[in-house]
Amino acid sequence: MMQYLRKNGIYVAFDTGFSRPIADIIFKRLDWKQVEDFDFSITSDQVENGRPYPDMIFKAMEYFNITDSKEVGKIGDTMSDLQQGENAKCGLTTGVTTGAYSRNELKGYHHDFIINDLLELKIYLKTKENSA
């Protein structure tokens, strides 16, 4: 999915509640490299406020020189991810059920849609492309 997004001109950024040292260990274990596999990452210890505050999203926007949060899509598997997307006023906020929370648990929080697999994003993006 990361490759698909990047090939279609969409930046891929990760934000996480983990600290930078822990996030770096996770990226290393997954063999994901910034620039090669994704474009940017930000951790909660690099901003004043972690999720559900929008600070990490705003920092990523600053990195990419994005001024309108409506151009940002937030995807997450927790309630605080969805709240973060709402608080940042993202143009798209998506819940994904591949984490610890079910569709029923996520659906009570702001979202544009909830998916079961990240690959479902391709369907949404193709639909959006065709309607433009």
Give the gyration radius of the chain's Cα atoms: 14
Please check the confidence at residue 23 and state whether its pLDDT lies above 80: yes
- pLDDT tens digit string along 64-104? 999 999 999 999 999 999 999 999 999 999 999 998 899 99
Domain positions in the chain are 2-131
Give me the pLDDT at residue 127, please.
63
Question: Residue 43 forms beta bridges with which residues?
Answer: 16
pTM of the model: 0.92
Give me the pLDDT at residue 130, please.
62
CATH class for domain 2-131? alpha beta
Secondary structure E strands in the chain? 13-16, 40-43, 73-76, 92-96, 113-115
Q: 131: which residues sit within 8 A by CB, 6+ positions away?
A: none
